Each structure stands twice: as structure tokens, then as C-alpha cells.
Amino acid sequence: MSIQWYPGHMDKAKKKIKKRLNLIDVVIELLDARIPLSSRNPDIDEVLKDKKRIIALNKKDLADPQVTKQWLDYFSETAPSLAINSLSGNNVKQIFSLADQLTQEEQAKALERGRKKRDVKLMIVGVPNVGKSQLINQLGNKNKTRTGNRPGVTRGEQWVKLQQGFELLDTPGVLWSKFNDEEAGVRLALCGAIKEGRFDNELLAYKLVQILQESNPERLKERYDLDHLSPDTYQLVADIGKKRGCLQSGGKVDRNRVSKIILKEFDEGKLGRITLEQPPVES
Ligand SMILES: Nc1nc2c(ncn2[C@@H]2O[C@H](COP(=O)(O)OP(=O)(O)OP(=O)(O)O)[C@@H](O)[C@H]2O)c(=O)[nH]1
């Protein structure tokens, strides 16, 4: 199934990012550690060109740590990469050291020419719900010290003064992911990057259970107290529904209710640390 959803405003958003780039020293490309590939905009290289970049895999607390390591190896060929948790702040400050390394050469040259060391300007880009606002808060220590009246490119944008000679544009660049197949769309929806309503909850929960049947069967059994996992996903969702008391009158399973429970538990990490995509295997 081919899904068309890349309307005009998404192209406008891309143009907006391009326009801001000449004010920026380092872009933080924020990806969801559970779906690093699907949460990536495929045009990102064309948008950022040779702009210095850090790739940050956010929500590392929700992703499988082993797979996250593999993804970091994979991305390190493109740019310095790290995994972070923007909710707790874990590893977030490491972004400063990476940005510092990336800009050292320019800073040294500027000093040689007798210029003062200037603040390194950062900007975050990423798909909806990946944690951009949360990261802005963490980097700014939740203390949004504005740098006075110096605007960004558009009205309402401001630079936030961060620690150690860094400034951050307080308006992140939103880049949507493009996807051509239903599976990638489902993964994005499971991770909250596509508005609710585009995919039906029952379909999403079904797909998630199908993935977990393959990858984490023991976790499913344990979480839902199941002695046996039905190989039939439709039946398995019903079994989970029964265990969770999601029954309608007449004893029929309320599929909508159980689906919502499964999706919420995934979102909160209660099903364990699950990565939905593996890095491509080099041939
Ligand atoms: N578990 C976990 N949740 C996170 C993390 N970072 C952000 N979140 C949650 O993810 C959700 C989205 O975070 P936001 O910071 O609003 O994401 P955003 O990219 O600014 O979202 P948009 O405004 O839709 O573009 C919120 O519920 C956050 O609490 C993280 O590292 N771990």
C-alpha cells in the first residue's frame, strides 16, 4: 500500500530550516531510538548539505540498548552520534562536548585572527513528538535565559543562552518523515510521530503484538500473564483483552479498549525496551 502524505506545508518547513541554517554552527538531528530510520527525513542530507551535525537518538530509555549500540555504529559514519534521554537528561550534556569538537577548528582560526571566541549556535531538527521541546528544556537547564532582543530568523524565535558558550535557537525545525509503505507508517504512529487518527488503534496494537510475537515473546507472556502465546495475532490480542478484563456484555472482547491499553503500555515502556527497526546489514 502506498501512502501519500507529504503536503505542501512540509516543503515549506524544509525551506524554513534551510533559511535558518546560515545562522547555525551545528544542527542536532534528533531521531527516535526505537525507529531511527523511519524517524529520519530522507531529504535531510539535501537540507543540511555540509552543515556540521550531531545525530542524537532520543528516548534511549525506551529502546533496546544492544540495538541502540548497533545504530550508533551505523550513524557514526555520517556524523558524531549519541543516545540520550531528554526526559531525565541522561547523556544530554555530552552534546556540548561533541559540538565543541566539531567547531574547534573554526574557533582556533578565529582566535588566530585575533577575534573573540564566540558562542556556538545550535538548532534541533526532528519529526513530531521525537522530544525536541524536551531536549531544548534539558539543554537550557529548564532555565530559558533569552539572549535579549536578538531575534532568530522569524519573529517570535529567540536564542537561548546555554552553558559553556553555546546558544540554541528555541524554535526547532520540524521535519516530517516520508514513508512509502504501511509498515514504516505503523512504526511512526506507534512512536507518536503521526497524528492519532491516521491509523486505527486496533490496527496499530495488532501490528505491535505481531512484532512482539516475533521479537519479544517472553516479555508478552510475562506482561500479560499468558501461559501460552497463540500464533494467531488476532487471537492473541483477544487473549490479552480477556486477561485485562476488556469484555463487552456477552463476554466479547472489547478490541478497542485492549488496543488502547497495549499502545499505552508500549508508549510508557512497560512492555520493555523495544526497538522496532534494526540497522541495515552491510553486504
Ligand atoms: N521516555 C521518554 N520520553 C520522552 C523523551 N523525550 C521526550 N519524551 C516524551 O515524548 C513526548 C514528546 O516530547 P516533546 O518534547 O513534546 O516532542 P516534540 O518533538 O517537541 O514534539 P512536537 O511539538 O510534536 O514536534 C513527551 O511526552 C515527552 O515527555 C525521552 O528521552 N524518553
Supply angle C-alpha 254, 257, 258, rounded to 5.
Answer: 85
pLDDT in tens, 9-64: 777 888 888 888 999 999 999 999 999 999 998 888 989 999 999 999 999 999 99
CA nearest neighbour of 60 among 274, 277, 279 = 274
Length of the chain: 283
Average pLDDT over residues 212-238: 95
In testing the pocket of ligand 1, which one of 32, 86, 93 has its CB within 8 Å of the most ligand atoms?
86
CA nearest neighbour of 178 among 188, 168, 170 = 188
Cβ(273) – ligand 1 distance below 6 Å: no
185 and 199 Cβ atoms separated by less than 8 Å: yes
Whole-prediction pTM value?
0.90
Average pLDDT over residues 159-164: 84
Residue 124 parent element (H or E): strand 120-126
The neighbour count for residue 250, using CB atoms within 10 Å, is 5
Residue 279 pLDDT > 50: yes
In testing the pocket of ligand 1, which one of 17, 87, 94 has its CB within 8 Å of the most ligand atoms?
87
Average pLDDT over the chain reads 88
pLDDT of residue 196: 67
Instruction: Please name the residue whose Cα sits nearest to atom 17 of ligand 1.
Output: 131
pLDDT in tens, 112-142: 888 888 899 999 999 889 999 999 999 987 5
Tell me the CA–centroid distance for residue 128 and ligand 1, in Å.
9
Alpha-carbon dihedral sign for residues 155, 160, 166, 171: negative
**Is there a binding annotation on residue 38?**
no
Instruction: Please name the residue whose Cα sits nearest to atom 29 of ligand 1.
Output: 87
Residue 253 pLDDT > 60: yes
The neighbour count for residue 180, using CB atoms within 10 Å, is 12
In testing the pocket of ligand 1, which one of 125, 129, 268, 275 has its CB within 8 Å of the most ligand atoms?
129
The neighbour count for residue 165, using CB atoms within 10 Å, is 15
What are residue 239's phi and psi, to 5 degrees?
-60, -40
Q: What letter represents residue 85's amino acid? A: N
CA nearest neighbour of 162 among 147, 151, 148, 152 = 147
Q: How confident is the model at residue 281 (pLDDT cuts 50, 70, 90)?
A: confident
Rounded-to-integer distance, Cα 222 and Cα 179, Å: 33
**Is there a binding annotation on residue 45?**
no
Instruction: Please name the residue whose Cα sits nearest to atom 28 of ligand 1.
Output: 131
End-to-end Cα, the chain, rounded Å: 28
pLDDT in tens, 75-104: 999 999 999 999 999 999 999 999 999 998
**Which domains does the chain possess?**
8-174 (3.40.50.300), 200-267 (1.10.1580.10)
This complex has an ipTM of 0.99
CA distances from 277 to 27, 91, 162, 199 (A): 24, 22, 33, 19
204 and 190 Cβ atoms separated by less than 8 Å: yes
Residue 6 pLDDT > 80: no
